[in-house]
């Protein structure tokens, strides 16, 4: 038995080795790039899209409640308490229509999940269509919170069968698929299979999917990404044939007349690139600095260009780990994140503990931090100071500094983003992970155990060799 962070154990079963190509040859991933005649050219981003991208780092940080200030947490607590007390004192039979639906929302805000589910079901039973999809979504969320997962999945399937496939339904199913996958529940792939025809039909319309009775909208890119989850799940399960069929359906559904925005095109391209990494050798990663010891420093170009040395699990001052082999251990886990991602930086102590406790297996794990701040002469000193502070914060952890260009090889969208490779250096997992993934019984344990029981054969490149 090999221990992992927070006392969880992995069986001492290494990933089944594959025939390893030359690890010094960069991978040439196959992406599902269509003919230039079948897809629109990339669209220039509008000011509104650029605004959303500019706000994305702030949105990512705000999405993690551990980053909230004491004042924000207190304000949230006041609202939750008020909602809970009102929900608890309310009599659902006294309400109907919009008021009944609003009561379900209020109970969900108050985290009274049993009552939220009951009220949402009352609204659904009343056959009022105005907020019916939203009521199903509240029901599914409430059931997940009370850990009645079987009923949550059954309710989601009922929603798919009985409701028009709109943005509210799409978002609810996506959330549940993510939860099931990260919980290691095989129902994730079954639910994704049931949703697949609806996503294909929605993509064929060539326009963003709107909600029937709310302002919710899901763009073509986000819808394509949700549909691609099925292909990822099938690849993780070793079912390449089904994954290929899934991708063909989605690519054909995009058609030639879709109203792509610049954001849609970027999202579709990113998902294709991420999927294209699976089954290929890990692309070359140039490490600029290691923070594993406080004495670590940035090597000179001459040092970086030297032939690879034999790997050493214990790093000496100034030494850089050899991520690209020849020793990938039983598993190598890489977590990419930009330096502004506070919750990602906070993970690095757990990642380090995870790697330390599994050193004898061995399972290697590193965080790869990069800066994507645009150079600005006036702001450069502030950027440098912030970067130096973040580096100091991470000293002594399994954190490596890489360039933004290196990170871009993996097309990261949201963070933290993990890439997991087997002992042959073949990528077996790519995707965003929860911040508690390296905790006991976390998502990373499930990924690695699944790898150990699912054979995967690397695709041999006929390019670049």
Q: Which of 246, 277, 308 is the last residue of a domain?
A: 277
Query: Over the stretch 390-419, which tens digit does the pLDDT of each residue have?
Result: 889 999 999 999 999 999 999 888 899 999
The per-residue pLDDT of the chain, averaged, comes to 84
pLDDT at site 378: 63
With a pLDDT cut of 70, the percent of the chain lying above it is 80
Do 361 and 267 have their domain in common?
no
Do 259 and 309 have their domain in common?
no
CATH code at position 154: 1.25.40.10
* Residue 122 within a domain: yes
Do 401 and 273 have their domain in common?
no
Q: Per mean pLDDT, which of 15-29, 120-134, 320-334 is the most reliable?
A: 120-134
Q: Among 27-41, 120-134, 315-329, 420-434, which is the least confidently predicted range?
A: 27-41
Cα–Cα distance measured from residue 133 to residue 384, given in angstroms and rounded to the nearest whole number? 48
The region, left, alpha or beta by phi > 0 then psi within -120 to 50, assigned to residue 268 is alpha
Tell me which of 50 and 117 has the higher pLDDT.
117
Tell whether the model's pLDDT for residue 174 goes beyond 60. Answer: yes
With a pLDDT cut of 90, the percent of the chain lying above it is 68
Range of the domain at 429: 2-28+282-453
Do 239 and 357 have their domain in common?
no
Do 268 and 305 have their domain in common?
no
Do 232 and 353 have their domain in common?
no
Do 147 and 94 have their domain in common?
yes
Average pLDDT for 297-324: 44
- Token duo for residue 378: 């006036």
Cα–Cα distance measured from residue 209 to residue 170, given in angstroms and rounded to the nearest whole number? 9
Only one residue has tokens 């639910």, namely: 191
Q: Partners of 367 in the beta sheet? A: 335, 399
pLDDT at site 383: 65
pLDDT at site 300: 34
* Residue 42 within a domain: no
CATH code at position 415: 3.40.30.10
pLDDT at site 190: 98
Q: Identify the sign of the CA torsion 106, 110, 111, 117.
A: negative
Tell me which of 69 and 310 has the higher pLDDT.
69
Tell me which of 23 and 215 has the higher pLDDT.
215
Do 15 and 95 have their domain in common?
no
């Amino acid at each position: 038995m090999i221990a992992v962070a927070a006392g969880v154990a992995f069986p001492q079963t290494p990933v089944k080795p594959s025939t390893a190509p030359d690890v010094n040859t960069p991978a040439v991933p196959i992406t599902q790039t269509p003919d230039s005649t079948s897809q629109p050219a990339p669209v220039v981003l509008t000011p509104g899209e650029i605004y959303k991208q500019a706000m994305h780092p702030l949105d990512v940080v705000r999405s993690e409640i551990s980053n909230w200030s004491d004042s924000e947490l207190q304000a949230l607590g006041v609202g939750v308490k008020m909602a809970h007390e009102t929900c608890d004192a309310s009599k659902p039979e006294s309400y109907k229509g919009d008021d009944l639906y609003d009561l379900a929302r209020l109970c969900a805000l108050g985290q009274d999940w049993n009552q939220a589910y009951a009220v949402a079901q009352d609204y659904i039973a009343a056959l009022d269509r105005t907020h019916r999809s939203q009521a199903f979504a509240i029901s599914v969320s409430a059931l997940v919170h009370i850990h009645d997962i079987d009923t949550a999945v059954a309710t989601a399937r009922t929603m798919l069968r009985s409701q028009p496939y709109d943005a509210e339904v799409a978002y609810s199913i996506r959330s549940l698929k993510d939860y099931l996958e990260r919980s290691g529940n095989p129902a994730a792939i079954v639910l994704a299979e049931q949703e697949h025809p609806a996503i294909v039909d929605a993509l064929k319309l060539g326009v963003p999917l709107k909600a029937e009775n709310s302002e919710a909208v899901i763009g073509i890119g986000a819808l394509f990404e949700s549909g691609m989850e099925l292909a990822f799940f099938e690849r993780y399960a070793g079912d390449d044939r089904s994954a290929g069929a899934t991708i063909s359906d989605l690519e054909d559904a995009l058609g030639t007349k879709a109203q792509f925005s610049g954001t849609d095109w970027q999202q579709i391209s990113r998902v294709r690139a991420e999927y294209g990494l699976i089954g290929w050798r890990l692309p070359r990663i140039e490490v600029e600095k290691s923070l594993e010891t406080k004495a670590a420093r940035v090597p000179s170009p001459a040092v970086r260009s030297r032939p690879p040395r034999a790997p050493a699990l214990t790093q000496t001052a100034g030494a850089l780990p050899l991520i690209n082999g020849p020793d990938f251990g039983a598993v190598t886990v890489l977590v990419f994140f930009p330096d502004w991602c506070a919750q990602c930086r906070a993970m690095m102590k757990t990642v380090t503990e995870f790697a330390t406790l599994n050193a004898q297996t061995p399972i290697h794990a590193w965080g790869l931090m990069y800066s994507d701040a645009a150079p600005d002469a006036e702001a450069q000193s502030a950027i440098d100071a912030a970067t130096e502070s973040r580096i100091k914060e991470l000293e002594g952890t399994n954190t490596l500094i890489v360039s933004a260009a290196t990170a871009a090889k993996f097309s990261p969208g949201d963070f933290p983003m993990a890439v997991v490779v087997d002992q042959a250096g073949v990528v077996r997992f790519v995707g965003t992970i929860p911040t508690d993934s390296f905790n006991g019984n976390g998502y990373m344990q499930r990924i690695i155990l699944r790898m150990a029981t699912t054979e995967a054969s690397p695709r041999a490149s006929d390019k670049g060799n």
